[in-house]
Amino acid sequence: MSRVHVLVAAPADVRWLGGAASPAEEARAARFRDPGDRARSLVAAALLRRAVTLLDGRPAADVAVGRWCRRCARLTDHGRPVVLDGAAGVDPGLHLSVAHAGDVVVAAATHAGPVGVDVEREAGTGFDGFDDEVLSERERAYVRGLPAGERSAWRVRTWTRKEALLKATGHGLLVEPRTVDVLDPRDAGVRRPDALAAELLPPARAHLVDLPVLAPGHAATLVLLAPAEPEVALHRPFAGARDTGCGHGPAWG
């Protein structure tokens, strides 16, 4: 088994961070006009650093996280999160992913291989044209056969599977989601998860794990590219402070 740490929080948990954010994290969050988006950015950064602490024990205050763009082939202000190493630039042995939507912020970290995580709100799939933009032909046929009351939940779950997969492979939305089929990875005729995994890390497999419901109306999925099945350790680092209202969150420094 390949252990993956998954940390979950809410944007409102920003109040427990105190002064834990780095100048770079503060600057990144400041680019968002909406206060909720700024909170999500700061909480996401804190979860990423805490995830690294869970992996190797270093203090969260000593963890520096940057962004690596597959297309640009360099460190940038966008792309997948990576742990920065003062000597080598990027620590190749630590794999991170982060996502946030609505009331959920989620981060994942592992030594096992490239990882992707995504969370979406069910309401976010309700726009006209979603099926044509996101779903493969076979997936469109499948969702049309579902009872009307089940379609929305199925759509958001399928969307998180695709986003998490494309984050793990590093393609992101450079690959059109409708060209990727996650209904049954064994079928041919479409871009299959394992085929995308092999492009990056042969002979890796793409392991898709639908995470438990993290908040009402949301869905989340984890994808790990590795030979072995993932063992997911789920953490809610702010839960104690939120439940007690004591004003003290976890030690982030």
Q: pLDDT digits over 193-242, tens only?
A: 777 777 766 667 889 999 998 899 999 999 999 988 999 999 999 986 65
pLDDT at site 242: 54
- Mind giving me the DSSP string for the chain? -EEEEEEEE-GGGGGG-TT-S-HHHHHHHHT-SSHHHHHHHHHHHHHHHHHHHHHH---GGG--EEEEETTTTEEESSSEEEEEETTTEE-TT-EEEEEEETTEEEEEEESSS-EEEEEEEGGGG-STTHHHHH--HHHHHHHHTS-HHHHHHHHHHHHHHHHHHHHHHT-GGGS-GGGB--S-TT-SSSB-HHHHHHHHSTT-EEEEEEPPP-STTEEEEEEEEESSPEEEEEE-TTHHHHHHT-S------
Question: How many other C-beta atoms can be found within 10 angstroms of the C-beta atom of residue 215?
Answer: 15
User: What is the pLDDT, as a whole number, of residue 186?
Assistant: 54
> What domains sit in the chain, N to C, each tagged with a CATH number?
3-244 (3.90.470.20)
Peptide bond into 81 cis (omega under 30): no
| Contact predicate 102/215, CB 8 Å | yes
Helices 148-169 & 137-144 angle (0-180, nearest 10): 160
Query: What average pLDDT does the structure give for the chain?
Result: 87
DSSP assignments along 79-124, one per residue: SEEEEEETTTEE-TT-EEEEEEETTEEEEEEESSS-EEEEEEEGGG
Asked if 144 contacts 136 with a C-beta cutoff of 8 angstroms, the reply is no
Does this model's pTM top 0.85?
A: yes
Q: What is the pLDDT of residues 75-107, one digit of tens each?
A: 888 889 999 987 658 888 899 999 999 999 999
Among candidates 56, 58, 104, 47, which has minimal Cα distance to 81?
47
Higher pLDDT, 249 or 157: 157
Which tokens in the block code for residue 184? 């049954």
The one-letter amino acid code at 188 reads A
Give 129's pLDDT tier (boundaries 50, 70, 90).
Answer: very high
> What average pLDDT score do residues 5-11 get?
97
- Report the pLDDT value the prediction gives residue 190, as an integer from 0 to 100: 57
